[in-house]
Amino acid sequence: MGRRQSVGDISYGLVIGTLALLAVTIIVAPVIIVLLTSFTNGQAIKFPPQGLSLRWYEQLFDASKSGQIHKTAGNSLIIAAWSTGIGVVLGTMATLGLARNRARLARVADGFFMSPLVLPGMTFGLAALVYFSLLGFRPSINLMIAGHLIVTMPFILRTTSASLSQLDPALLDSSQSLGASWFYTLRRVTLPLIAPGIAAGAFLAFMASIDNVPVSLFLSNARTDTLPIRMWGMMESTLDVRVAAVSGVLITAAFLLMLVMEWTVGITRRMRD
């Protein structure tokens, strides 16, 4: 017979349940409000929406009316794709070099690589602008890729190192004992087994790059604006309802990508690890 729950257990469950419900409401409610607002028939961002319509999505996908938005979205995708691709290569190499290294220098290097996660974005953006200016570089797509690479690579490092820590060393020893070279072992044993962790980190890095404002704000110019900066400007100037439509597209795309990643590599478990 199961133990009867005490008053304290019931109270604890109610408190935790209430806090969890409150947290979910705070996170989900703004998303729902933005999605509903994007379908408004009115001329301004207002909730509840004045009638339902797809007019703002039609304007958003119309190149003649939203060409600048399309251009900044393309810049964001280019920067995110390059920074993620380079980050996967460098992050995987760094993880392979640091994961099983117990030297003090390796721990220092690991902390150094993870430091962008705790460094304020605005601080890093300003520091990167000053540093690159001293070197004689001007804001450009290439500088933005470098800046995004620094702030997003820790995601790849963390998920890849988590996957590598779960890899049984006996598999590597067996491969070497059978005469396989280190490169063959890396290509046929190590990389296939840690691929889900790499994919999860790449997904997180890509989404963080798409959504990044501080680094893009300092390292961009008029021709290399990204989508978040464009949305920010539209909100400050005209409160254009297309901002809500863009948000709706981003939310939907992120949700679908999240489902794909959860189904293929179990991204939730990778983030917990």
Residue 34 falls inside a structural domain: no
Q: What is the CATH number of the domain that holds 83?
A: 1.10.3720.10
Q: What is the pLDDT of residues 182-216, one digit of tens each?
A: 787 778 888 888 888 888 888 889 988 988 888 88
Q: pLDDT tens digits, residue range 221-270?
A: 777 788 888 888 877 777 777 888 888 888 888 888 888 877 776 656 55
* Mean per-residue pLDDT, 166-171: 76
Q: Which of 121, 129, 133, 138 is nearest to 212 (CA)?
A: 121
Residue 52, beta-bridge partner list: 40
Question: Domain range holding 92?
Answer: 65-272
Q: Is residue 76 part of a domain?
A: yes
Residue 59 resides in a domain: no
Kindly state the tokens that stand for 149: 């690479």
Query: Is 158 within a domain?
Result: yes
Query: Which of 25-29, 106-110, 191-195, 222-226 bottoms out in mean pLDDT, i.e. has the lowest?
Result: 106-110
With respect to residue 29, please indicate whether it lies within any of the assigned structural domains. no
Percent of the chain with pLDDT over 90: 5
Is 154's pLDDT higher than 70? yes
Average pLDDT over residues 133-143: 83
- 147 within some domain: yes
Residue 159 included in any domain: yes
How many domains does the chain contain in total?
1
pLDDT band at 171 (very low <50, low <70, confident <90, very high): confident
Lowest mean pLDDT of 123-132, 170-179, 254-263, name the range.
170-179
Cα(226)–Cα(207) distance, integer angstroms:
13
How does residue 2 score in pLDDT terms, banded at 50, 70 and 90? Answer: very low
Question: Which percentage of the chain shows pLDDT scores above 70?
Answer: 91
pLDDT higher than threshold 90 for residue 86: yes
Tell me, yes or no, whether 28 lies in a domain. no
pLDDT tens readout for residues 38-78: 888 877 777 777 777 788 888 888 888 888 888 888 889 99
Tokens of 232: 């920010």
pLDDT band for position 7 (50/70/90)?
low
